[in-house]
Amino acid sequence: MQDRSDFLDSEVLSRLAPLALHARFPMLGNVSGRHRSPIRGSSLEFAAYREYVPGDDLRRLDWRVHGRSDRYFVKQFEADTNLRLCLVVDTSGSMKYEAGGLSKLDYAKRLVGTLAYLAANQGDAVGLYCAGTGFHQQIDPKRNAAHLGTVLDELAITEATGETGLVSALHEAAERVPQRALFVVISDLFVDPEELGECFQHLRFRRHDVSVFHLIEQAEVEFEFDRPIRFVDLEGGASILADPTMIAKQYHAALHTYFEKLTESVREARVDYHRVALDEPYDDVLARFLLSRSPKGSK
């Protein structure tokens, strides 16, 4: 069992604290927050004009427009609300893959823990879904402070094992979370890209904002070995004895096809896709992620 300090770094948190987590699409929250809502509200952000109908608040009549056009218009403003952050972590056996002493799951935990902390800190609800062979742990989003502790504790005891069930887990999550939410998926995505694309389409259909951190190690891409290797499946399948020099070309071809399909899937579903190598500092990855989501003109 890991300690929270294994995936929460105070220096990283303090460095990222100025950066807010934004949703790319309007969210429906319970309380006021820093995210746009599809419902017009009373924020300072002007949204649009609408013709007056009886019953409207007279305080929102725009007299200047009346003076110019002799017609009654009401000014509408954006509503700010909070968001639900649903963190989906792939806990299949393949996430045990290590590079430089750091496994993919460890890296995922650092991303998840930091994001959960940042979201909770800005008043958003945080939920955690661990996707092994089906969900083996689900914590729905809540926004109280104690809930963050629950999420982090669960994260600490999560281990990678078994075959991946990411596809079914994402479909299930799409149905499970009724209101608009920000889904952040952290996985090596070793599943059929077309099936994965359907998951993303499902999430998008449910009006969720979807972001993906695709953890893939450089060695898995390059596949450079100079002598026969017995490859043991981290997800418990049969091992394969192969001469990499013989199959490298085919391996790269398969990888290339996979990436093409995956790129197509995320593009069609408008998924916020980030490919992450394990040797990349996770705070840089998160900073890039947060900055890319910031609305224009805000910090």
User: Site for other proteins (CB under 8 A): which residue of 31, 246, 281, 294?
Assistant: 246
Shortest Å distance, C-beta 49 to other proteins: 42
Rounded to whole angstroms, the Cα distance separating 17 from 119 reads 10
Residue 235 found at the interface with other proteins (CB under 8 A): yes
- Tell me the per-residue interface mask from 48 to 87 with other proteins, x by CB under 8 A, - otherwise: ----------------------------------------
Q: Shortest gap between Cβ of 150 and other proteins (angstroms)? A: 29
* CB-nearer residue toward other proteins: 73 or 190: 190
- Angle at alpha carbon of residue 283, lines to 252 and 276, rounded to 5°: 10
Determine which residue in the list 9, 98, 198, 283 makes contact with other proteins, applying CB under 8 A. Answer: 98
Q: How far is the CB of 190 from other proteins (least distance, A)?
A: 5
CB 73, min distance to other proteins, A: 47
Instruction: List b or e across 244-256, with b for residues whose CB sees 16 or more CB atoms inside 10 angstroms.
Output: eeeeeeebeeeee
What tokens were used for 215?
């953890």
Count the residues of the shown chain that bind other proteins, applying the rule CB under 8 A.
Answer: 48
Structure tokens at 222: 């390059």
How many Cβ atoms are within 10 Å of 127's Cβ, its own excluded?
Answer: 23
Residue 267 found at the interface with other proteins (CB under 8 A): no
- Per the CB < 8 A criterion, the answer to whether 156 and 4 are in contact is yes
CB 6 within 8 A of CB 106: yes
Exactly one of 5, 240, 281, 284 binds other proteins (CB under 8 A); that residue is 240
Name which position in 13, 47, 102, 247 contacts other proteins (CB under 8 A).
Answer: 247
> Contact, 135 vs 188, CB < 8 A?
no
Tell me: does residue 167 bind other proteins (CB under 8 A).
Answer: no
Closer to other proteins by CB, 62 or 192: give it: 192
252 interacts with other proteins by CB under 8 A: yes
Q: How far from 156 is each of 149, 163, 248, 285, CA to CA, in Å?
A: 10, 20, 37, 21
